[in-house]
Amino acid sequence: MINKIKIIKEEFEIYGDFVSASPYGSGHINDTLRVIINQGGTEVHYIFQRINEKVFRNPPAVMENIQRVTEHIFKKIEEEGDTEITRHTLVVIKAKNGKSYFHDDEGKYWRAYIFIEKARTYDVIETPQQAYEAARAFGLFQKDLSDLPGERLHETIPDFHNTPQRFANLEKAIAADVAGRVKNAGPEIDFVIRRKADVSKLTDLLAAGELVERITHNDTKLNNVMLDDKTGKGVCVIDLDTVMPGLVHYDFGDMVRTSTSPAAEDEKDLSKVTMQFHMFESLLRGYLNTAGGFLTPTERKYLPFAGKLITLEIGIRFLTDYLEGDIYFKTHREGHNLDRCRTQFKLVESIEEQMDEMIALLNSIE
């Protein structure tokens, strides 16, 4: 891989001598490396990534999206007089052929970014302040893109958060029962069926014109926000492959799903799974600090519901994969996807139990 990077480096508008390359970050989709280049006696860092074309079937479309949104945000930050623009948005480095990526002779797609110094990501949320900063950063990201001109962005993964479609896929999996597992998942199937009315609530509002399609990140885990090493403040939103048209609720809902429970996503002891209200409050306050100004009243109203919906959706996906024989998500033990599904559904219940308090909090914030 190192020798490959030496060759790939020459295809980008990066000058200087190659020093080293090493794996970077904790992502599981793309191959990511930090590359050190000696430029006039100073070591400068870059991020190189090989795009996983099995997940992202159209890498040029992915890169067109990323280039458009990062250039738009760059201009906004520049107009504000920020002196650290390249710390506050990803900057795509052009290939020497003028494109935002390089397509090698093996059919692989590569891209390069300026490395963001003196900041890092966290895989596990540790404090309410981190939740606040992550939500604030994602809210600002949405705000900055709320006036992106031009054509609609590409859907890099079609129907990614189409909850009615996920529900339909589950019904098909139940009917087919290809792995003979329906008998093992009766309570979980019943759990979803009882909430059928929830799955289309947001898409119905969108179709009726009561919600607005926005540009959303669609993978709002804590580790997709760089936090400053000294201040702990959110510096930059990263991992933009899934940036595409969507609802603001997809992003906020996934923050609630991934940041409010102290339990692991596949925790078998369901007594450990709960929505910690103080973490939800930090997320909500951080998000509204930056996004509150552009949200419509209806968008704002459904923020508490969003956490429930997205958690239910991910649980449906785990359950569907279990019934289909574990063909999508990697599993490491018998019934792994069923355990994951149960964890999500327990979190749904916890959110439901606290919904009145969540709504009251929302209404109390100016």
pLDDT in tens, 17-52: 999 999 887 666 788 999 999 999 999 999 999 998
φ and ψ of 51, to 5 deg: -75, 135
Reduce the DSSP state of residue 20 to 3 states and report it: strand
**Whole-number Å distance between alpha carbons of 21 and 6:** 9
Length of the chain: 366
Query: Whole-angstrom Cα distance, residue 361 to residue 280?
Result: 10
- Say what the pLDDT of residue 329 is: 86
Helices (H), the chain: 2-9, 59-79, 85-88, 128-145, 163-176, 186-193, 196-199, 201-207, 248-259, 277-291, 297-301, 303-323, 336-353, 355-364
Secondary structure element (H or E) that encloses residue 246, with its range? strand 244-246
pTM (two decimals): 0.94
In the chain, residues under CATH classification 3.30.200.20 are 2-117
Helix, strand, or coil (residue 239): coil
Class assignment of domain 2-117? alpha beta
What gap in Å lies between CA 88 and CA 237, rounded to an integer?
8
- For 128-364, which CATH class? alpha beta
pLDDT digits (tens, 9 = 90+) for 103-142: 999 999 999 999 999 999 988 888 999 999 999 999 999 9
Predicted confidence at residue 26, as pLDDT, reads 67
Task: Give start-end residues of each CATH 3.90.1200.10 domain in the chain.
Answer: 128-364
pLDDT, tens digit, 9 for 90 and up, residues 262-294: 999 999 999 999 999 999 999 999 999 999 999
